[in-house]
Structure 1
Amino acid sequence: MEKIRKVFTLAFVLMIGLGLQANLSAQTTMEEFSAKWENGKQFTLEVVDKMPDDLLDFKPHESAMSFREQIIHLASASAGISQNFLNGAQPTFDLGAKPVSKAELKSFVTACYDYTRSTVAALSAQQLAETIDIFGMRGTRRQVVALIDDHVTHHRGAAISYMRSHGIEPPRFRAM
């Protein structure tokens, strides 16, 4: 039942993202995406660093993902979507990994972010403009790139709210 809920939640978020992303105005080039993505990776790693080890499995409600699950989900979904919809090669790491320690979690986040960045960078302008089927909808691969970015932001924001609920000041946001 929990797995079905997660699948429906992801599908809902992706559906909204594709529906709202008619064009990609926040990043007009893949070089800009790459720089923004690297910044997001560093920000995510800082968020993980700030959360105490004893709170990695905190969840605000029994139906919510834990902090650790939010981070694993945002990372693995990015790489999984990249592999399945952006012509990604077989990852050299386990997309289904369940990191236990903070060091393992940070290593997994880094691997997923780096995989996504290199997959996106390998796409030609023609491939980015191709319309594909994704989760029962149609969109360009460029829209899928924006969807991945929005999805990460959504789940990282949830993880940050978990920190704040314990009085922990999150790392300062920087967009560039």
Structure 2
Amino acid sequence: MKQIFFLLFLISYPIMSQQVTPKSAFLEKWTNSKEYLLEIAESMPENKYSYAPTEREMDFRNQLLHICGNMLWLSTTYFSEEIFDRKKLSENAPDSKIEVIKLLEKSFDLVYERVQNAKDESLKTEVDFFAGPKSKLQILNLLQDHVTHHRGQLIVYLNLNEIKPPKYVGW
């Protein structure tokens, strides 16, 4: 019996280890994060995209655009050879709900593609960051944390408008 378990371990270990790398874990979580945020963006009626609970906070639309901008900045700067152009992004910011959602989806997909194409060992690479040197793995964590932070705000916006948020999707 022990031999069977050992054989199963030898067969399954390479498969399991491929599914638990930091990159594969991030990509799985990123896909779920995308689907969840798209559901949230869809839940808010277009006429409420300008809603902000206070003057200090961004409205719903600008929260989504801020999320997109951060994703594009971090993925371009740390996972591509391109130069990020914040001015171009802000000048071409979409107005309608459907355009914002398309940009959101495109931004998530671009991050996914760039991270998927990154070599696993490159995540250990230290990069210059405004808050001090960080590894690319820390940049991935920042990408996800930033989305989560603003998504939480958007859930509050939905609740304040008597709109039931979509069911949470985690891992």
The TM-score range, normalised by the shorter chain, is 0.7 to 0.9
Matching residue within 118, 121, 125 for 2:116: 121
Aligned residues: 148
SS at match of 2:89: coil
Give per-residue Cα distances to partners, 1:43-85, cap 9 Å, x unaligned.
1110011001111011111121001111111122111111112
Residue 29 (structure 1) shift: 2.8
Q: Does 1:165 align with 2:160?
A: yes
Which residue does 1:30 correspond to in 2? 23
Query: 2:27·2:112 contact (CA, 8 Å) conserved in 1?
Result: yes
Residue 168 (structure 1) shift: 0.8
Query: 1:82·1:88 contact (CA, 8 Å) conserved in 2?
Result: no
The TM-score, its normalising length taken from structure 2, stands at 0.80
SS at match of 2:58: coil
Give per-residue Cα distances to partners, 1:133-172, cap 9 Å, x unaligned.
1113111001100110000000111111111111110000
Residue 90 (structure 1) shift: 6.2
Structure (1 or 2) with the greater helix fraction: 2
Query: 1:47·1:160 contact (CA, 8 Å) conserved in 2?
Result: yes
Structure 1: 5+ residue runs without aligned partners? 1-26
- Cα distance in 2, alignment partners of residues 167 and 146 from structure 1: 32
Counterpart code for 2:72: A
Which residue does 1:134 correspond to in 2? 129
Which structure would you say has the larger Rg?
2
Which residue does 2:53 correspond to in 1? 60
Matching residue within 61, 67, 70 for 1:74: 67
- Cα distance in 2, alignment partners of residues 136 and 101 from structure 1: 34
- Cα distance in 2, alignment partners of residues 54 and 103 from structure 1: 12
State the Cα RMSD in Å. 1.7
Structure 2: 5+ residue runs without aligned partners? 1-19
Give per-residue Cα distances to partners, 1:71-117, cap 9 Å, x unaligned.
111122111111112235468xx633322111101100011001111
